[in-house]
Amino acid sequence: MDTKIIEFAGLLRQNGIRVSFAESLDTFRALDLVGLRSRATVKDSLRATLVKRAVDLPAYDALFDLYFSGIGEIVKRSEAASMEALEMTPAEFQALLDALERLLREQGIELSELARALLQQDSGRLERLMREAAKQARVDRIERSFQEGQYAQGMQQALGIGDLARELQAISEAIAGMGNPRGDDMQRFVDRRLQELQEMIRRYVRRELEQQDVAQRDSLRMQALAEKSFYYLSEDEIRRMKEAVTKLAQRLKNVLAVKRRHARRGKFDVKATLRRNLQYGGVPFKIQFDERKRVKPQVVVLCDVSDSVRNVSRFMLQFVYSLQDLYSKVRSFIFVADIGEITKLFEENEIHQAIDQAIRGNVINVYAHSDFGRAFRLFHRDHLAAITRHTTVIVLGDARNNYNLPHEWVLKEIKQRAKQLIWLNPENKMTWGFGDSEMDRYLPHCDVVEECRNLNQLYKVIDRLVLV
């Protein structure tokens, strides 16, 4: 068992779950305590000692089942399969096995170990032989599915399947030569078992491959998701996006907390110190420092939902929605040529509905030609009061203005009033300023301008924002 645990810990590590040496030791102690009788208890014990992050639990469960269901399961399944193929009841099947054994003994046919294990349904021995062969063929090194055949072959060779086939052939002939009434069944059984062995090997190799794959599959999915431009979001993807945005928000908050802590140790407050130490007769036992007021982050988001950014507007709105979910002081607007506030809409609706309504044109006409200049002017007229010196303004859009007046003076004014002005452009940086893109005119008025059309880029952007 010890080697199996160590091997399993290695497998977990391979799959990106951090397991330290000390933790493997804990596992041994835990198993000494609870014993190996109940599978569920062993699973719980290993989980408690080896897996320390909630996110790793699904991978752990999958790996445990794969690793510990093991060869035994495969062997057992193959026995059932042989029985089914011969269309016999368990009793008949057992009788056949006994008859075969008797016959072989009478004939004085000496079986090899493998053949005996196979024909007498000795699953324990078969399991051991297969495990040894797998080790010899280094099946645990399999990485890709196209290698399955190669490793299966290696295992067959290690088991000596060629010799086995000849041996079984001889037995089959011997049976045929005797005219036993059940000879046919026995012959079929012997043939069948050879096929089953090959099947078992194939299954075993497949299982090994799956073990290597669990985490890889997961990380690949995350990667794919991060690169995706969010045409359509599945349930799972939304959850992951939320996780990502929450993590980003957390990161922001941590940085803020550190800043605050430093700020807290700011100035010495004479008045408060005196007042606080009155109870000690004015002897300053406790020093009081200035405390800075906490300013909640205020965010105003302007999101372009015009036709030119159709394929990323879902992503951008999702970002807006998550943002609004996390902070209390977020006001969000969408614009094409008009501008409309969607704060309320996003607050009250579930994410899919909210986004659908926003881009279907319930708030503003989304089929107009985009006109950033006009939208900005309208924002300036109606909503400028939303911006104070604590506000961070985020504009999401491609700045494709259809050759209308850009009115960049609005941005200039916003920048003067706001704490920070950030522009996230879903378009490739190379195309900014070409054609009807007015990015070059808007750019000088922004504090931060970044290219951002998927989760990976968003991560990078936030990383940089935090440093600012």
Partner 1 sequence: MSFASIEEVIERFAGERYICNRTIATVVYLAAHLKKPILVEGPAGVGKTELAKVLAGALGQELIRLQCYEGLDEAKALYEWEYAKQLLYTQILKDKIGEVIEGTKTLHDAVDRISSQDDVFFSERFILPRPLLRAISSAEPCVLLIDEIDKSDTEFEAFLLEVLSDFQVSVPELGTLQARHVPLVVLTSNNAREMSDALKRRCLHLYIDFPDREQERAIVLLKVPEAAAHLTDELVGAVQAIRKLDLKKAPSISETLDWAKALTLLNVDSLDSELVNETLSTICKYEGDIRKAQQELKEYVARQKAKAARPTATEPPKDLLH
Q: Give the relative orientation of helices 123-137 and 148-159 as an angle to the nearest 10 degrees.
A: 120
N-to-C CA span, the chain: 53
d(CA 426, CA 396): 8
Amino acid, single-letter form, for residue 206: R
Q: For partner 1, which is the closer residue by CB, 34 or 36? A: 34
DSSP string, 155-176: HHHHHTHHHHHHHHHHHHHHHH
Q: For partner 1, which is the closer residue by CB, 48 or 274? A: 48
CB of 215 to partner 1, least distance (A): 18
Q: For partner 1, which is the closer residue by CB, 27 or 172? A: 27
CB of 301 to partner 1, least distance (A): 19
Q: For partner 1, which is the closer residue by CB, 285 or 403? A: 285
CB of 224 to partner 1, least distance (A): 23
* Nearest CA among 219, 238, 245, 209 for reference residue 59: 219
CB of 281 to partner 1, least distance (A): 7
d(CA 438, CA 374): 13
Amino acid, single-letter form, for residue 161: I
Per DSSP, helices labelled H in 108-182 are 113-119, 123-137, 148-159, 161-176
For 90, other C-beta atoms within 10 Å of its C-beta total 9
Q: For partner 1, which is the closer residue by CB, 57 or 80? A: 57
CB 12 within 8 A of CB 63: yes
The DSSP element (H or E) to which 241 belongs, if any, is helix 235-264
CB of 354 to partner 1, least distance (A): 10
CB of 126 to partner 1, least distance (A): 32
For 96, other C-beta atoms within 10 Å of its C-beta total 18
Q: For partner 1, which is the closer residue by CB, 164 or 354? A: 354
Q: For partner 1, which is the closer residue by CB, 283 or 385? A: 283
* Nearest CA among 240, 207, 219 for reference residue 65: 207
Q: For partner 1, which is the closer residue by CB, 60 or 335? A: 60
CB of 47 to partner 1, least distance (A): 7
CB of 43 to partner 1, least distance (A): 9
Residues at the contact surface with partner 1, assessed by CB under 8 A: 18, 20, 22-23, 26, 29-30, 33-34, 40-41, 44-45, 47-49, 51-54, 57, 250, 254, 257, 261, 279-281, 283, 285, 325, 347-351
Q: Which residue has the tokens 């959850």?
A: 239
Measured torsion, CA atoms of residues 130, 202, 209, 223, in degrees rounded to the nearest 10: -170
